[in-house]
């Protein structure tokens, strides 16, 4: 097979890649999430964060103390 038969257009069909800002591995430019480390590329694409359980319990305890103080 000659080198003349080799098609240079195959290299142009690949999607452009960028390095992941967290793990530095190559990912597709349009990716919302890195398939290697699982991090979201932008904060807009990230899933909503769940508040830690201790914050919710702390707020409930403070509200209970205020209620008992006002009611008593």
38-63 burial code (b ≥16 CB/10 A, e <16): eeebeeeeeeeeeeeeeeeeeeeeee
- Its pTM stands at 0.42
Of 31, 28, 35, the C-alpha closest to 14 is: 28
Q: Give the residue with greater pLDDT, 8 vs 70.
A: 70
Q: Give the residue with greater pLDDT, 32 vs 5.
A: 32
What was the pLDDT predicted at 13?
57
Given the DSSP bridges, would you call strands 17-19 and 26-28 parallel, antiparallel or unpaired? antiparallel
- Over the stretch 31-68, which tens digit does the pLDDT of each residue have? 888 899 988 887 776 667 776 888 889 999 999 999 99
Looking at the predicted structure, is the pLDDT value of residue 7 above 60?
Answer: no
């Amino acid at each position: 097979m000659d080198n003349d038969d080799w098609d240079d257009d195959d290299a142009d069909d690949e999607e452009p890649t960028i390095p992941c800002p967290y793990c530095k591995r190559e990912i597709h430019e349009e990716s919302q999430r890195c398939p290697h480390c699982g991090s979201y590329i932008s904060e807009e694409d990230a899933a909503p964060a769940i508040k830690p359980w201790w914050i919710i319990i702390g707020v409930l305890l403070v509200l209970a103390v205020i209620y008992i103080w006002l009611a008593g």
